[in-house]
Structure 1
Amino acid sequence: MSRSRGIRSGASAHPDTGKALREAIGRGHDTPGLVCVLVPHQRDRDEMTSVLRQSFPGATVVGCTTAGQMHWGSYQDDIVSVVSFAASECVAVAERADGMSSLSLKDGYGLGMRALGRLRAQGIEPNASSCFALTLLDARFGNEDVLMTGLRSALGDIPLFGGGASDGLAPRDVAVFHDGAFRQDCVVLVLVSLRRHFKVFSTHHYRPLPEDLIVTRTDARHRVIEQLNGRSAGEEYARVLGASMAELQQSDAWLPPMMVKVGTSYFTRGVARIDQHGFLHLACPVSPGLQLRLGETTALTESLTALEQEIREEIGEPELILGAECLMRRVEAQSTGQLAELDVWFRRNRVVGFCAYGEQYRSMHLNNSFTGIAIGPRRTVSRRDEEIARLKSENERLRRVVDAQREQVDRVMSAGSDTFGLFQNAVLLEEMVQRRTEELAEANRKLQGELARRRRTEEALRQARQEAIKANQSKTQFVAGVSHDMQQPLNAIRLLLGRLEHELLSSGGAKAMRQIDSSLQTLETMLKDFFDISKMDAGGYVVSPSTFRLGPVLQDIVREFQPQATSRNLKIKLVDSSALVQSDLVMVQRVLRNLLSNALRYTPSGRVLLGVRRESRGVRVAVIDTGIGLPEDALTDVFRPYFQINHPDVVVRRGSGFGLAVVERICTLLGVRIQVRSVLGKGSNFSILLPYGRREDLPRLSEEKPQAAIPTPLSGAHVLVVEDDRAGQEGLLALLEAWGCRAMAVGSPEEAETFLMRSDTAPDLVICDYHLGLGKTDGLQVAQQVAAQAGMVTPPVVISSDPDPSLRRDITASGALFVAKPLKPARLRATLASALQTKGTGKI
């Protein structure tokens, strides 16, 4: 018994068949994945069947009868050999086709496809780098070439080897073991996914003599050559060999093979005997007109030494070689005295195998060859494996070549050609595969160099990316700081303009104030859009999807824009909807506001429609206008920053040039595609598709009945302003005093605390900037502390220029009120009135 981790092999020559098999099995594997049994043909098969069923229930067990075996040494006639692979090393499936004598190309193809299907059913995708195929067959019927061609069509480039069951030079009582029994007239195909390095090989030790022998008459059905060069085949064969035909007809005579050239290689056609008529009986088919040469033998160990070097270079030292060797090689080794040298080679390379009646290698059926699989150490996922995976596209090209060759095989079969035509096709196919394999190996070497260069490039790119991320973070922080600082003077200007509204101005002064207000609105819009784009590009916005009713959202937006439309004699029409959608409510509102504002700006007359249509994938919301429209070449540019249409009918002030750019970026964040259709001079249609929401995901509403609105004047209200910007303080104080409030301003939390300690009258309301001082103190927390210290029942009002939608959500979720900077006097006044109304109800 020989063992390596995951693979075990054992042999026994005990005269009792049952004991011999049990000794060969030894302890075996607790959970074998594959078991291969090689038994002498004269052993008791019923006894072996019983032992195998008891020893390996549920395992894939295959085997065959032999005419001698090798087990880590030279040929032996009466030993029982067992090789087992642990389930941790392989996954194996076995399929059988009965009626070997009548198998067709289609049958061979079907056999291969069934095995592939069973392996795939276990979650394994068969491929040439991790799978191999083994055939064990009844070789008495001369149908191997048809079978191998069909199998090759199914298995593609998965390597295959195998051998014919035997019981001597003229096999009669051969059998193949599968599915718990020994069977005849069949073939068994084993498909194995192996977690080890391996190499499937075939070798022979002949070279062709120079004289050509032309086949002039055959009995193709029985693989018999009757004439060579128009003369008796036996006499011509003996003449070239330098012997008499009578000597060669002796039963113990070893007969050198014939060789045929296909493509660039020579292949052996084994000569079994010369009959009394002088006919040559071969083990493989031939055709009339074929050019043959007699094979001259070389030392068996020369070819084996070259094979050993090839194996060790590819997979390292083999842990096991499982092989099928032509019975004629054993006959030759015995007659030429080379058994001792073979014994050394077999032992050194851990060979376990059997003497076969014909061998199979890839798509070919061979004679006088040694064919098998060398198994090396356990395979791990390596860089090389990854590189090979990158060559899948190249392998696909090879598959196309194979497919073309299969079609040629089909044509040969349809034309009624003999089986030698199939062998020729198989050889040519293998040569193409070999050439392509060499090309892939060269491509792999180049790829390794390219991968090394790419790794260096990727490392440089990674470092550059890190630097870019740092620079982008710095830019984002800078933009946020600039946004806050620039909003402060704009906020002060807005507040002072609100104060001037309460002054008596001349007609010229009023006109100038309106112009200042218009310019200020344009500047505010430009800055807001610019900062929004910067923040979105830097990944500063977080999408917070929720389920909401679409109808109320659309109604609010239409009410907001109705005064603007009325002032320009335009109609806004709303197609209401009861649909539920799931998206970010604040971002959807921003998109629709920008689209509606854009539509009103570029519609000199007519109407604007805010429409809704249900589709299978969601709700489409469209803003459709009867405005100036867009030329076709502008449809791809309309979402670029600064893009604007100059048109004489557009009498309103121009926008910031960022509105639709903001829309596109928000839609990208939401995962929503925006569509635009437009006809120059007739209008435009901008639409987005929002996914449906589920009713069960709607937020639960309070069951408390809403209170009726109680108008609360601001006159006389005590208001404390916490604002660190001096201009902002002055603007707010001026505006609050114009509304009749008693206002006081402080610049920090500490000043607010001091003011409350010294003041005799507690403020009714606190207004606090969200960002206070260089440390960007949390204004919400300050406002809540001031409200608590003063004992206020009114919610604090937080003001901020920060465009982050999540900030507004956090502030309102805390119970405070929010007003965005730059402050619009009307909105601020309404918010303060709402806060003081809460005081009247006694609720926060």
Structure 2
Amino acid sequence: MSWPRNLVETVASYSYNNKNEYDAERGQAISRVITVPLIFLYMVIALFASSRELNTVIVVMLIYSTLYIPGSWLLLHDIVKRPGYKFGRRVFAMSNDYLAMTFAMAVGGAITAPIFAMVLWVTVGNGLRYGPRYLAAATAFALLSLAAITYFNSFWREQPYIVVTFVMTALLVPAYVYVLLNRLHKAYNSALEANLAKSRFLAQASHDLRQPIHAISLFIACLRDARLGVEERQMVNNIDRSLQSVSRLFQSLLDISTLDSGKITAHPEDIAIGGILHDIAQQNSEAAQWAGVELKVVTTRKFVRTDPSLLTTMIQNIVSNALKYAPGSPVLMGTRIRNGKLSIEVHDRGPGIAGEHLPRLFEEFYQVRERGDKDTEGVGLGLSIVQRLAGLMDLDVSLRSVEGQGTTVVIDGLDIVEEPVRSLETNRIKPASLLDGLRVLLVEDDINILMATGILLEKWGCIVQREDGLPEGKDVTCDLIITDFDLGAKTTGTDCIDYVRRQNGHNIPAIVVTGHDENRVRDDVGDPEIPILSKPIRPAELRSIIMALKLKTEQQAVNV
């Protein structure tokens, strides 16, 4: 007996587009193909049961079966194939609906009076789906329909009170709906403005608070290189552990505010998925050690076409959840091929999640809380961010969990591509050289961050020139530029890089560090060769990027 329920679920899900967003036009088309056969069946039964001639029944059946019913399916097919706003298609759909209902009521007379309920339903439905202007247009269609019905059918002319009732209903009900829609739109706009204000606040608070976190992270890295005793080193490790928890929290807040702004777009490229997984495992190795988790990766040589930054964020959030909610148990990252697509799977053997929580896990700020549970870091945004990023990249995310056995999260739908052809020069890996003697121009308007970063770079062997703003009128001879994005005085890291490069006469390698949305900064910088690092950055990540840029510069010099 599950067939009707599954049919309803199938029809309901069909009203959603590929991004899991409700499509009003598609939803209306679905309603049309369901209700039209029911109206057709009623018309046939009613006309056969009436004293109307059989010829009238045959005409009605032919017109409905050969024109309107197939037309409804063709309209649905066009909406599925060409989704989005199409004004002409909406006008055609409305005209088609009212013509069909007008014809039915004009032919049938009294027995087709219940079809007026469909006229009212279609009128209100257009307003609720598309807005007040369409409601006004649909009301005009309804009144024209009633006028045509009265003109062509003598029965309705002989029943003026019924016609007047229909007209008043066709006016008053949409008018009341119009008032409610206006109130709803005002409330929606107020809620939208409040949501945007929340997003702006989160973005600004995240940026401002990430500055001192970034500075503390750098100072901790400097302390690690100092000659500390065992007890002092343990205290530094504890501080670093707490700091990373706060850092992940602010990263989630920044991610969700950036998603709310609608400014994130996917930039796909061919990448080695194995490299992404191993990088994430390396970045989380310390956190896994703290949580007592054995983090494993199943090696793969597959290449996929996707946005590496957004995909990394998705997997990172999933792994962070596994480390938080499944401490002391193994976590496995791997891939699987399904239907010609690549899936990424993250398995843990933690306590699992109760069934009543599963439907809400992808909601913002939802966290699984049971009586007596210990507090865990975070605010419940990780899986929500994963799902929204998946929608941006046309991927699917699913989660299954069994209490006492563990949880599995799957990212599905990655397009597999051939391994990119690389030149021999690119494949030659030179041993990473030390940074001794590397001349670095460090530009940062925050004095604490400027001091901490400078000390760290000098410990690595770099010769550092510190500047708290655009170094106008100064000697800016350097091998590498590391600059914050916001430098004050209406200048940015982009301006700084352009200025220094002009002064030196060539494109000096550069790194931009920012607490803002990475995509927005990248658009401003306009150079895909310049790495954009989000605060707070891990010292190991900074050092790795510097080494890569130095190695690339040396290879280019050899090739020249």
TM-score bucket of the superposed structures, by smaller chain: 0.5 to 0.7
1:765 paired residue number: 480
Between the aligned partners of 1:573 and 1:650, the Cα distance in structure 2 is 29
Task: Report if the CA contact (8 A) 2:278-2:297 is conserved.
Answer: no
Give CA-to-partner distance per residue, 1:208-246, whole Å, 9 cap, x none.
xxxxxxxxxxxxxxxxxxxxxxxxxxxxxxxxxxxxxxx
Q: Please list every run of 5 or more consecutive structure 2 residues that lacks an aligned counterpart in the other structure.
A: 1-51, 72-91, 110-132
How far did residue 570 of structure 1 move? 1.9
Deviation at 1:573, TM superposition (A): 4.2
In structure 1, which of residues 775, 785, 791 is the aligned counterpart of residue 499 of structure 2?
A: 785
Q: Does 1:570 align with 2:291?
A: no
TM-score by length of 1: 0.47
SS in structure 1 of the partner of residue 398 of structure 2: strand
**Whole-Å separation in 1 of the counterparts to 2:537 and 2:134:** 63
Q: CA deviation at 1:779?
A: 0.9
Figure out how many residues of one structure are paired with residues of the other and give that number. Answer: 456
**Partner of residue 822, structure 1:** 536
How is 1:105-124 mapped onto 2 (pairs within 5 angstroms)?
Answer: 109-110=57-58, 113-114=61-62
CA 1:578/1:816 → structure 2, altered by over 3 Å: closer, same or farther?
closer
* Aligned with 1:529 (options 252, 255, 263): 252
SS at match of 2:105: coil
Structure 1 residues 644-690: Cα deviation after superposition (integer angstroms, max 9, x where no partner): 56799999x84564333332333344454432221112111112322
Deviates more, 1:736-745 or 1:515-524: 736-745
Instruction: Please point out which of 81, 105, 111 is paired with 1:157.
Output: 105
Take 2:100 and 2:359, find their aligned partners in 1: how far apart are those partners? 52
Aligned to 2:509: 795
Shift in Å, 1:497:
1.2
Local SS of the residue matching 1:763: coil
Question: Conserved in 1, the CA contact under 8 Å of 2:438 and 2:463?
Answer: yes
Q: Is the 8 A contact 1:605 1:626 kept in 2?
A: no
Evaluate the alpha carbon distance shift between residue 121 and residue 706 of structure 1 in structure 2; reply closer, same or farther with a 3 A threshold: same
**2:385 alignment partner, SS class:** helix
> How far 1:703 sits from its partner (Å)?
8.1
Q: Is the CA contact 2:367–2:379 (under 8 Å) kept in the aligned structure 1?
A: no
One-letter code aligned to 2:501: A
Question: Is residue 484 of structure 1 aligned with residue 214 of structure 2?
Answer: no
Distance in 1, Cα, partners of 2:157 & 2:326: 72
Which of 542, 554, 558 does residue 840 from structure 1 map onto? 554
CA distances 1:116-152 after superposition (whole Å, capped 9, x unpaired): 677769989998975899xxxxxxxxxxxxxxxxxxx
Match of 1:643 among 363, 367, 375: 367
Q: Which amino acid aligns with 1:721?
A: L
SS for the counterpart of 1:753 is: coil
In the other structure, the counterpart of 1:678 is 401
Residues in 2 aligned to 1:585 and 1:436: alpha-carbon distance in whole angstroms: 70
Match of 1:602 in 2: 325
**Contact 2:351–2:406 under 8 Å retained in 1:** yes
Q: C-alpha distance in 1, partners of 2:372/2:187? A: 48
Name whichever structure is richer in helix by fraction: 2
Task: Give the residue type in structure 2 aligned to 1:387.
Answer: T
| Partners of 2:136 and 2:200 in 1: CA distance | 45
CA RMSD of aligned residues (A): 4.5
SS in structure 2 at match of 1:748: coil
The alpha carbon displacement at 1:769 in A equals 0.6
Matching residue within 203, 210, 224 for 1:501: 224
Structure 2-normalised TM-score? 0.67
Looking at structure 1, the residues matched to 66 and 361 of structure 2 have their Cα atoms a distance apart, in angstroms, of: 57
Residue 719 of structure 1 aligns to a residue whose secondary structure is: strand
Are residues 643 and 465 of structure 1, via their aligned partners in 2, closer, same or farther at CA, if it must alter by over 3 Å? closer
SS across alignment from 2:344: strand
The SS at the match of 1:635 is helix
The amino acid that maps onto 1:755 is K
* Structure 2 residue aligned with 1:753: 472
CA spacing shift, 1:738–1:545, aligned 2, 3 Å: closer
1:585 match: 308
Q: Once the two structures are superposed, what CA deviation does each residue of 1:34-68 show, in whole Å capped at 9, x if it has no partner?
A: xxxxxxxxxxxxxxxxxxxxxxxxxxxxxxxxxxx
CA distance in 1, matches of 2:135, 2:328: 68
**What is the deviation of 1:822?**
1.1
Residue in structure 2 matched with residue 715 of structure 1 by the alignment: 436
User: 631-640 vs 459-468, which deviates more?
Assistant: 459-468
User: Aligned equivalents of 1:132 and 1:534: distance in 2?
Assistant: 48
How big is each residue's C-alpha offset from its partner over 1:693-742, in whole Å with a ceiling of 9 and x where there is no partner?
A: 677xx988778634422423222222211111111111112212222322
Counterpart position of 2:128: none
Offset from partner CA, 1:716-773 (integer Å, 9 cap, x none): 2222111111111111122122223221211222xx12222xx7xx222221111221
Match of residue 241 from structure 2? 518
What is the correspondence of 1:52-201 to structure 2 with a 5 Å cutoff? 109-110=57-58, 113-114=61-62, 156-159=104-107
Shift in CA distance, 694/458, structure 1 to aligned 2, threshold 3 Å:
farther
Work out the CA distance in 1 between the residues paired with 2:136 and 2:216.
68
Q: Deviations over 1:364-384 (max 9, x none)?
A: xxxxxxxxxxxxxxxxx9988
* Distance in structure 2 (CA, Å) of the matches to 1:818 and 1:383: 49
Q: Would the aligned equivalents of 2:396 and 2:413 in 1 still touch at CA under 8 Å?
A: no
Q: In 2, distance between residues paired with 1:391 and 1:546?
A: 55
Task: In structure 2, give the amino acid aligned to 1:841.
Answer: Q
Q: Unpaired runs of 5+ in structure 1?
A: 1-103, 134-154, 161-199, 201-380, 399-428
Paired with 2:550 and 2:417, the residues of 1 have a C-alpha distance of 37
Cα distance in structure 2, aligned partners of 1:590 and 1:835: 23
* Change beyond 3 A, Cα 1:660–1:382: closer
Equivalent residues of 1:601, 1:650 under 8 A apart: no
Separation in structure 1 between the aligned mates of residue 240 and residue 159 of structure 2, nearest angstrom: 77
Distance 1:741 1:595 in 2: 37
Pair 1:738–1:457, CA change in 2 (3 A): same
**What is the CA-CA distance between 1:797 and the residue it aligns to?**
1.5
Find the aligned partners of 1:383 and 1:802 in 2 and give their Cα distance: 43
Tell me how far apart the structure 2 counterparts of residues 455 and 465 of structure 1 sit (CA, whole Å). Answer: 15
**CA distance in 2 between partners of 1:694 and 1:441 (Å):** 67
1:755 alignment partner, SS class: coil
| Offset, 1:593 | 1.7
Change (3 A) 1:107 1:612: farther
Q: In the alignment, is the contact (CA less than 8 A) between 1:131 and 1:159 conserved in 2?
A: no
8 A contact 1:811–1:818 mirrored in 2: no
Q: Determine if contact 1:793/1:842 at 8 Å carries over to the other structure.
A: no
Give the residue type in structure 2 aligned to 1:799.
V
Alignment pair present for 1:664 and 2:387: yes
The match for 2:138 among 350, 373, 386 is: 386
Percent identity of paired positions between Structure 1 and Structure 2: 25
The Cα shift of 1:494 comes to 1.2
CA distance in 2 between counterparts of 1:754 and 1:434 reads: 92
For residue 458 of structure 2, what is the aligned residue in structure 1? 737
Q: Secondary structure at the match of 1:686?
A: strand
Distance 1:816 1:436, change over 3 A: farther
The residue identity in structure 2 corresponding to 1:599 is A
Counterparts in 2 of 1:706 and 1:780: CA distance versus 1, 3 Å: farther
Q: Is the 8 A contact 2:98 2:141 kept in 1?
A: no
Structure 1 counterpart of 2:514, which letter? S
Residues 564-609 of structure 1: CA deviation (Å, up to 9, x unaligned): 557736251426363645x543222211122123223433455323
Structure 1 letter corresponding to 2:498: Q
Structure 1 counterpart of 2:350: 627
Change (3 A) 1:690 1:733: same
Larger Rg: 1
Contact 2:331 2:347 in 1 (8 A): yes
SS of 1:620's equivalent? strand
User: Aligned partners of 1:115 and 1:782: how far apart in 2?
Assistant: 72
